[in-house]
Amino acid sequence: MTDKTLLEQLDWRYATKKMDPAQPVPQDKVDAIIEAIRMAPTSSGTQPFELIVVTNPEVRSEIRKAAGDQAQITDGSHLLVFAAWDDYTEARIDNVVDLNVEARGDLPMLHAYYDNLKKSYVPRDPEVNYAHAARQAYIALGIAMVAAAEQEVDSTPMEGFDPAAVDKILGLKERGLRSVVLLPLGYRDPENDWLLPMKKVRKSLDTIVSTVA
C-alpha cells in the first residue's frame, strides 16, 4: 500500500488488459482483498453469494476458454469467481439468523425481521431471487476492486464469459450457485498493455450527477 488518497487509488486503477504472468500477487494482499469482500454490505446482511478463488493453472485455462480467451485469467495469479445463490430458501435465511443470534443474542425482533424476509423472498420465482442475489455479489465486486487498488494490485472485472460453462467447470450447480462475474488479480505488464498509457475517460460531474434539493 502507499499513501495515495482513495481518489488517487481509483485514478491509478484501470481494467488491466495485459498482466505479467511472472509477477504473482503475494498472499497477504490477496487475503486483504478477500477480507474486504467478506466485509461488503449486502441486503439484510444475507451475503447471498460465495467467492471461489482459483489458482490452479489447468482450471484457469479451462475458464479462459469459456471466457472468450481473455488472457488475464491465466496471466494473473488469482482468479476470483463471484457466485450467487441460485435461490433464497428458508434454510439459507435461517443460517443468516443463526449468525445473527450468535453475534447479537436471541432477540425477538431479529426473528420477526427474518420471518418477514422469508415470507417475502421464498415464494418468489427463483430467477427473481437469483437476480437479487447477483446484485449483492456486484456490491462485493465493487469493494474488491477498490481493495485491490488500495493494495496496488491490478484487476479486470469480466462479464464476458459463458456462466453455464464456468458453473460446470467449478461444480457450482451442485452447490446451489451460479457464476456472476470474474475478477482476475495480477500485475500490469507496462510494456505490452495498450490501455495503460491512455487517459482515463469518465463523464463530467454535470453530465452524470443531478441534485434534488
Dist CA 81 CA 168 (whole Å): 13
Q: How large is the C-alpha radius of gyration of the chain? A: 19
* pTM over 0.75, yes/no: yes
**Helical (H) or strand (E) element with 28:** helix 27-38
- Asked whether residue 203 carries a pLDDT value surpassing 60, the answer given is yes
Identify which has the larger pLDDT, 2 or 96.
96
Map out the domains of the chain with their CATH numbers: 6-88+124-208 (3.40.109.10)
Place of cell 479462459: 64
Give the C-alpha separation, 65 to 57, whole Å: 13
What is the predicted pLDDT for the residue at 206? 95
Instruction: Give yes or no for residue 106 having a pLDDT over 90.
Output: yes
Q: Say if residue 165's pLDDT is above 60.
A: yes
Could you report the per-residue pLDDT of 177-192, keeping only the tens digit for each?
Answer: 999 999 999 999 999 9
State how far the Cα of 49 lies from the Cα of 46, in Å rounded to an integer.
Answer: 9
CA torsion angle for 54, 19, 159, 140 (degrees, to 10)?
60
The answer, yes or no, to whether residue 17 has pLDDT greater than 70, is yes
Question: Residue 193's closest CA among 148, 142, 156?
Answer: 156
Which among 84, 81, 176 is positioned nearest to 131, based on CA atoms?
84
Residue 24's CB is within 10 A of a number of other CB atoms, namely 15
pLDDT of residue 3: 84
- Name the grid cell of 163: 456462466
> Phi then psi for 26, rounded to 5 degrees?
-60, 145
